[in-house]
Amino acid sequence: MPLGVSIAVACMFGGQATDRATVASVMPNFATSAAASQIKMSANWVANTTTALSAAHNPIQNNDAVNAWNDSGPAGDSNVNATQATGAAQPTYNSSNASYSNKPTITFGSAGMFLRTGTFATAPSSPVTIFVVGHATFPPVNPSAFDGLAADSTRKLFWNAGSGKMTLEGSLDVIDPAVHGSISPAVFCCLINGASSSLYYSAKTAVVSGDIGTTTTETGFTIGNNKGIAAADYWGGPLAEIRVYPGALSNAIIGQILTEMGATYAITIGA
């Protein structure tokens, strides 16, 4: 099933499960808060093209391999769609995950699994605000939810085996909170803004803030692994949704979006 990701200026990930041949339908805008995301990818919006492209509207099946996750935000750069052509590296589609209010999720359950966008026509430069819904159920060494492309500056949300915490890493340093944060379903917000970066974990108040450095080279995203595709750093669990907003969103807007996403997936959002 294809799944698309993008990081530009104002769009969102999301949509409805369609068929194995195409995911080109226009999806509704889920940004009910005051900001519009540049990229919106949800596990509703995936497809599997292992069957002939001429196949007419074959429904996506539970446990299918995902070869693409497509951005459902505003029409534009097709390079924001995240794909995977190698069967062994394709994550698995869960059509109804009880841990996420029976919404679909995509599971990165084996070493080497990942999806990767192309190089965006418009680079997703900092500052940028990224939301992730998911959790690592069986943390490998340093399971990564997202990172940049291979040649990009590091821009990564991962579970840090050294500290035992979810961590936001940039080109200069890492920031990690006093909470674990990867075992239970969660909504993460990563405000990537140099010295004013913050990580939110299912709460409208940041759990940690600090300087992760300025990412100077940003051209796309790796999803479900780090940019180097380390065998031990695959996410190890489900992802339900990813949103990318241009700019540094205010704490009030971040709280609105966290509340909205928490309500969608039955995840409690704290103060």
- Segment 162-167 shows an average pLDDT of 77
Q: In which region does residue 227 sit, left (phi positive, over 0), alpha (psi from -120 to 50) or beta (all else)?
A: alpha
pLDDT at 201 over 60: yes
- Segment 132-144 shows an average pLDDT of 83
Q: Using the 8-state DSSP alphabet, how is residue 65 labeled? A: B
- Segment 5-33 shows an average pLDDT of 27
**In the predicted model, what is the mean pLDDT of the chain?**
75
Of 95, 93, 105, 145, nearest to 241 by C-alpha is 105
Confidence (pLDDT) at 17: 29
pLDDT at 7 over 80: no
Quick one: pLDDT band at residue 23, thresholds 50, 70, 90?
Answer: very low
Q: What residues are paired with 153 via a beta bridge?
A: none
39-93 pLDDT per residue, tens = 666 665 554 433 322 223 335 688 888 888 888 766 567 788 889 999 999 999 9
Confidence (pLDDT) at 27: 22
Tell which wins on pLDDT, 215 or 142: 142
pLDDT at 204 over 70: yes
How is residue 153 written in tokens?
């500056």
Percent of the chain at pLDDT > 70 equals: 70
Tell which wins on pLDDT, 159 or 113: 113
Question: How many Cβ atoms from other residues are within 10 Å of residue 171's Cβ?
Answer: 18
Break the chain into its structural domains and give their ranges: 3-265
Q: In 118-271, where do the E strands start and end?
A: 128-134, 144-147, 156-160, 165-169, 174-175, 186-192, 197-201, 208-210, 222-223, 238-246
- Segment 25-41 shows an average pLDDT of 40
pLDDT at 142 over 90: no
Quick one: pLDDT band at residue 154, thresholds 50, 70, 90?
Answer: confident
Q: What are phi and psi of 141, to 5 degrees?
A: -90, -60
Residues 6+ positions from 203 with CB-CB distance below 8 Å:
258, 269, 270, 271
| Integer Cα distance of 144 and 214 in angstroms | 20
Tell which wins on pLDDT, 98 or 160: 98
Of 9, 38, 42, 28, nearest to 261 by C-alpha is 42
Most confident of the ranges 43-47, 192-196, 258-262: 258-262
105-116 pLDDT per residue, tens = 999 998 899 999
| Integer Cα distance of 254 and 262 in angstroms | 12
Tell which wins on pLDDT, 87 or 4: 87
Confidence (pLDDT) at 138: 67
Confidence (pLDDT) at 170: 82
pLDDT at 22 over 60: no
| Integer Cα distance of 23 and 42 in angstroms | 12
| Integer Cα distance of 247 and 254 in angstroms | 12
CATH of domain 3-265: 2.60.120.200
